[in-house]
Amino acid sequence: MKVWLCGAVAAIVGLIPLREIHAQALPKVSSGRLERLDADPSRFIGPRTVQVWLPDGYDPATRYNVLYMHDGQMLFDASTTWNHQAWNVDATLGRLIREGRVAPTIVVGVFNDPTLRHAEYFPQKFLPFVPEQQRAEFLQKGLQGQPRSDAYLRYLVEELKPAIDAKYSTRPGPDGTFIMGSSMGGIISLYAMSEYPGVFGGAACLSTHWPATFAQNATFPLASFTYLQARLAPPQGHRLYMDHGNADLDGLYAPHQAFFDILAHEHGYTDANYLSRVYPEDGHNERAWAARLEVPLLFLLGK
């Protein structure tokens, strides 16, 4: 059986219904505080849990950056995750804020829908550049019949962001709005900044899953590069961080990331606003992403 879903959380988290996840107690954090956002039903996606991390000393008189993160159930407390690993965002970002190395920042953790994660995170506008036979198979087996990423991004931009900006003291412009994810969460973060360059001023894409499936291939990376050649967010006013390891699933990424590095520089990105890193010993898991999280946080949010 060919497996299409990818990423560290899709297969096993899918065993837990969203209603049960939403009903669970909030994860424990080592700094700041965590809130669950109550919102009206979305016009674009199904029910979604959103957790908001506020740094220590959150003060409505201060304006805060906002970092939107995918796979929100994996961000804070390893005791609540399927693989007992987490990004430990509260520990790393809280420390960087206390040290004065990054500006005060709120984190919005958007849970994935385990049954539709691939459909929501695979960039929809890549599909016209996939050959017809492979596109039809991928739509059926990989995306459960239809792509949903454009609807997911409309939810983030048209519903979630206005709700966050209304409830919290934020810097609502692109210079204060960032997006981050890993694996398929990395590719949707790159797509989000390219589709909405006036909304997101920076993206961090860890272990970007260029192949779209578990098998090495040229078809899906080529489709992504064709789209990005025309639609990559301009370097002016944007920062872009990308990385990968070399172990397990991350071992597929090196040739594709090297090509994209060239594409980004041809579009005018420089060392001032583009950082691409390789972590030779790292694999495809939250433990690895947590260990190097300081690097993208400093690159996007550093003073």
Model pLDDT for residues 125-134, shown as the tens digit of each residue: 999 999 999 9
Q: Residue 279 forms beta bridges with which residues?
A: 245
Does residue 136 form part of some domain?
A: yes
Q: What is the CATH number of the domain that holds 297?
A: 3.40.50.1820
pLDDT at 13: 37
Does residue 3 form part of some domain?
A: no
pLDDT at 24: 72
Does residue 233 form part of some domain?
A: yes
Position 5 pLDDT exceeds 80: no
Does residue 1 form part of some domain?
A: no
Report yes or no on whether pTM surpasses 0.95: no
Q: Looking at the 3D structure of the chain, how many domains does it have?
A: 1
pLDDT at 270: 98
Position 202 pLDDT exceeds 50: yes
Does residue 24 form part of some domain?
A: yes
Range of the domain at 49: 10-301
Does residue 5 form part of some domain?
A: no
Does residue 110 form part of some domain?
A: yes
**Rounded to whole angstroms, what are the CA distances from 69 to 19, 128, 281?**
20, 27, 24
Region 225-229: mean pLDDT is: 98
Does residue 2 form part of some domain?
A: no
